[in-house]
Amino acid sequence: MATVAIVGASGYAGQETLDRVLTHPALELYALGSDSLAGEAAHALDPRLGRNGWSRIPRFITNGAALSCGADVTFVCLSHREAAELVPPSRGVVIDLSGAHRSAEPSVYPSWYGFEHPHPHGLELWSYGLPEVSPPSGRLIANPGCYATAALLALAPIADEIARDGVVVDAKSGMTGAGRSPAASSHAGVVLENVTPYRVGEHQHAPEIASLLGFPVTLVPHLLPVRRGLLATCFVRSLGVDLRAVLEDHYATSHVVTVLPEGVVPDLARVQQTDGAEIGVFEDRLTGGVIVICALDNLGKGAAGQAIQNVNLLYGLDETAGLRLAGVLV
């Protein structure tokens, strides 16, 4: 059993990571970090953590203490800025679920994240871990953004087969993607009966996607009146190849990503609360363009599930160990 520390366990991504760790066959929870809950019992976060077999869960400690506790695997579930500040532990696997280490290029941070990176020289030590596209390597792993995951699952396998100009990603996300801190934009009075485009043409996942694809795309994210789940509708033009065949081939053996049969659209309901993703491929009757749609759960494959999947790969475990992939819930 590898020991696990979760830094920032009281946010959405932290709580979801905790969920996966608690039932993982090869991971053992060792430290639960949260500056706001330090000293409290685990069930201060959620009464479910005080029930049944979970009475052995450790109390919350500070994020600093969790980071330096010597765990085999450390999940960092902090804001971009906070995660950028940290000095990673000198041993063990570190999975950063924030955007603080996704680009090796320091200039990306002031330009797209709004802050100078405090540790620019360490950036090249991190690898980008998107298992189906860019498998993790080394011990410091930058876990991809939720929009980037959906766009790259749809586009990376076909990147060489499509026109590189004019690629569009219109993405729609549930509200847990915005993090747990209250803000005017996440107030239910604004979100309900609404759909809100934001950071139009300037979201930080755009250069993340471009970097992996090798060419830029136009990304417009929208917030949905939905708790969890994300849909990326991607618009491309084929250079001649059958893009559905390429995608089916790429994901033929995956237990995480499914290419749906012709005519079936991806459905949030089927990926919510799971770590899987669904992809649908459609041709436009008028223009001949191709539409590739990817659905996933922003907190599952878009965050915590992918973090666990990265750990599984690094440890040589079954890729799906501890993941939520079963079930046919309504």
- b/e code 178-205 from CB counts within 10 Å (16+ = b): beeeeeeebeeeebeeeeeeeeeeebbb
Shorter beta-carbon distance to its own copies: residue 90 or 181:
181
Question: Is residue 58 within the footprint of its own copies (CB under 8 A)?
Answer: no
> According to CB under 8 A, which one of 101, 139, 172, 244 is a site residue for its own copies?
172
* Piece in contact with its own copies (CB under 8 A), picked from 73-81, 124-132, 141-149, 321-329: 321-329
Minimum gap (Å) between residue 228 Cβ and its own copies? 7
Query: At 279, is the secondary structure helix, strand, or coil?
Result: strand
* Cα angle for residues 75, 320, 274 (degrees, 5° grid): 80
Shorter beta-carbon distance to its own copies: residue 136 or 177:
177
Question: Is residue 326 within the footprint of its own copies (CB under 8 A)?
Answer: yes
> According to CB under 8 A, which one of 5, 29, 49, 151 is a site residue for its own copies?
49
Question: Is residue 243 within the footprint of its own copies (CB under 8 A)?
Answer: no
Q: Is 146 a known active-site residue?
A: yes
Shorter beta-carbon distance to its own copies: residue 39 or 261:
261
Q: Which helix (H) or strand (E) holds 128?
A: strand 127-128
Residue of 77, 146, 234, 294 marked active site: 146
The distance of Cα 170 from the centroid of its chain, to the nearest Å, equals: 17
Minimum gap (Å) between residue 55 Cβ and its own copies? 13
Q: Please list, in sequence order, all residues whose beta carbon lies within 8 angstroms of the beta carbon of residue 242, skipping any fewer than 6 positions away.
A: none
CA–CA distance, 210 with 174 (Å, rounded to integer): 23
Token digits for 171?
Answer: 């993405």
> According to CB under 8 A, which one of 228, 244, 250, 301 is a site residue for its own copies?
228
Shorter beta-carbon distance to its own copies: residue 119 or 222:
222
Question: Is residue 115 within the footprint of its own copies (CB under 8 A)?
Answer: no
Q: Please list, in sequence order, all residues whose beta carbon lies within 8 angstroms of the beta carbon of residue 159, skipping any fewer than 6 positions away.
A: 213, 214, 215
Minimum gap (Å) between residue 290 Cβ and its own copies? 8
Burial class (CB in 10 A: 0-12, 13-18, 19+), 40: middle
> According to CB under 8 A, which one of 186, 238, 248, 315 is a site residue for its own copies?
186
Phi, psi torsion values for 117, nearest 5 degrees: -70, 125
Q: 109 to each of 103, 105, 214, how far by Cα in Å?
A: 8, 8, 19
> According to CB under 8 A, which one of 70, 125, 222, 319 is a site residue for its own copies?
222
* Piece in contact with its own copies (CB under 8 A), picked from 85-93, 139-147, 242-250, 291-299: 291-299
Shorter beta-carbon distance to its own copies: residue 282 or 315:
282
Which residues are catalytically annotated?
146
